[in-house]
Amino acid sequence: MSISISWAVGNCAVRSARQPFSMSEQKSHQIVDKKTVWEGRFIRILLLEYRDDKGNVRRWEAVERVNCDGIVAVIPITKEGEILMIRQFRPALNSYVIEFPAGLNDKGETLVDAARRELIEETGYTSETFELLVEGPVSSGLSTEVLTVYLAREATPASLSLRERHPIEETEDIEVIRTPLMSAYATIEEFRGRGDAADLKIYGLIELARNRMNNL
């Protein structure tokens, strides 16, 4: 049997949100080969081959993290009801970006321990409570990354010993933004008005955090 190979250009289908997927549909696409095209210190470029629902083998270029067991982000809410965000320069965009504390699980930790460490490193705050808020792919058309997001309630300044144990990374230059939760969007727009970018994930994550906080 001959198998055609082509570059995926995308087929669009419309489905009702209430129309369930069958098991055959869920498994109709399958990765059949995976090659590393290039690998650096932090990422590798992949060439994937997958079989579509018509039996054609197609190719897709993707990015994968190296030596990383997951990515975490933290939404810290202080005892005073303020939300903590960070502002840092992102070379890939040549711009400062407003985002939540986040980082790689690359030290053999659990995801929640990585989230706790990143919160201390990037904001100088800690919390006794880390609740799983949501997890899912970050950029499914490009990357294999899956982000796990935690809500850190009643965040307080970390002790000096904790900050010394988890200092900010030498390559990072981070400004902590502390603002009332209800004013978060206005604060983001203020920074955007000055020329900064805002990580789009931040908008939906704020809403998820608000819903969780309101459903105590």
Q: Residues 164-198: pLDDT tens digits?
A: 999 988 888 899 999 999 999 999 999 999 999 99
* Alpha-carbon distances of 213 from 78, 102, 147, 172, rounded to whole Å: 12, 20, 21, 30
Between helix 184-193 and helix 201-214 the angle, nearest 10°, is 160
Q: Residues 120-151: pLDDT tens digits?
A: 999 999 999 999 999 999 999 999 999 999 99
Q: For residue 209, which of 78, 88, 106, 97 has the smallest C-alpha distance?
A: 78
Phi, psi at residue 96, to the nearest 5°?
-80, 140
Q: Which domains does the chain have, with CATH numbers?
A: 5-65 (no CATH), 71-214 (3.90.79.10)
pLDDT at site 215: 84
Q: Residues 56-103: pLDDT tens digits?
A: 999 999 999 999 999 999 999 999 999 999 999 999 999 999 999 999
| Rounded CA separation 75/61 (Å) | 32
